[in-house]
């Protein structure tokens, strides 16, 4: 399994960005083909997005087996494609950008015993103005 390297992404305050995370799963010859209804938990894709910070990492989003959990600061503002395994796309969509969203993000894709990851830097620009 491989993840493509991502270039830095720039967005504007209150705007929308897509943090890319494209992957490909290499099928093994000894693994039987399973239909979605017969896949066990170990066959399902697990996607984890986190923000890398000085004191560790903050979970942004985790998706596994159709269940998505989102970190408190990102509720209602982040999503991933609905069928990432079919399209090889685990990109993170972030809306209503905040200045605090700027920084380094890590995309981890896990499938069975395989695990791969990449990082992408998000720059947020613009000025916030209060209108009445």
pLDDT digits (tens, 9 = 90+) for 10-41: 999 999 999 999 998 776 554 445 445 455 55
- Give residue 103's pLDDT: 97
Structural domain boundaries enclosing 109: 2-26+43-125
- Give residue 119's pLDDT: 96
Q: Is 98 part of a structural domain of the chain?
A: yes
- Give residue 84's pLDDT: 85
Instruction: Report the domain count for the chain.
Output: 1
Average pLDDT for residues 97-116, to the nearest whole number? 94
More confident site: 51 or 128: 51
Q: Is 49 part of a structural domain of the chain?
A: yes
- How much of the chain, in percent, has pLDDT values that exceed 70? 80
Q: Is 75 part of a structural domain of the chain?
A: yes
Residue 87 has pLDDT above 60, yes or no: yes
Distance CA(83)–CA(55), nearest Å, equals 33
Q: Is 116 part of a structural domain of the chain?
A: yes
Q: How far from chain centre, in Å, is Cα 47? A: 6
Q: Is 36 part of a structural domain of the chain?
A: no
pLDDT-derived band at 113 (thresholds 50, 70, 90) equals: confident
CATH number of the domain at 105, please. Answer: 2.60.40.10
Q: Is 104 part of a structural domain of the chain?
A: yes
Q: Is 84 part of a structural domain of the chain?
A: yes
- Give residue 24's pLDDT: 86
What is the bridge-based pairing of β-strands 9-12 and 114-125? parallel
DSSP 15-51: --EEE--BEE----TTSPP--GGG--GGGSEEEEEEE
Kind plus residue range of the DSSP H or E element containing 67: strand 67-70
Q: Is 93 part of a structural domain of the chain?
A: yes
């Amino acid at each position: 399994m491989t993840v493509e390297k991502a270039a830095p992404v720039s967005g504007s305050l209150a705007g929308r960005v897509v943090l890319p995370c494209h992957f490909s799963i290499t099928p093994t010859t000894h693994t039987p083909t399973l239909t979605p209804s017969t896949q066990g938990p170990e066959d399902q894709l697990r996607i984890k997005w986190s923000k890398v910070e000085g004191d560790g990492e903050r979970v942004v989003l985790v998706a596994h087996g159709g269940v998505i959990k989102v970190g408190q600061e990102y509720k209602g503002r982040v999503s991933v494609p609905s069928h990432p395994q079919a399209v090889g796309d685990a990109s993170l969509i972030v809306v209503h950008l905040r200045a605090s969203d700027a920084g380094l993000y890590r995309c981890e894709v896990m499938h069975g015993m395989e695990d791969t990851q990449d990082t992408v830097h998000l720059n947020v620009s613009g000025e916030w103005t209060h209108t009445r």
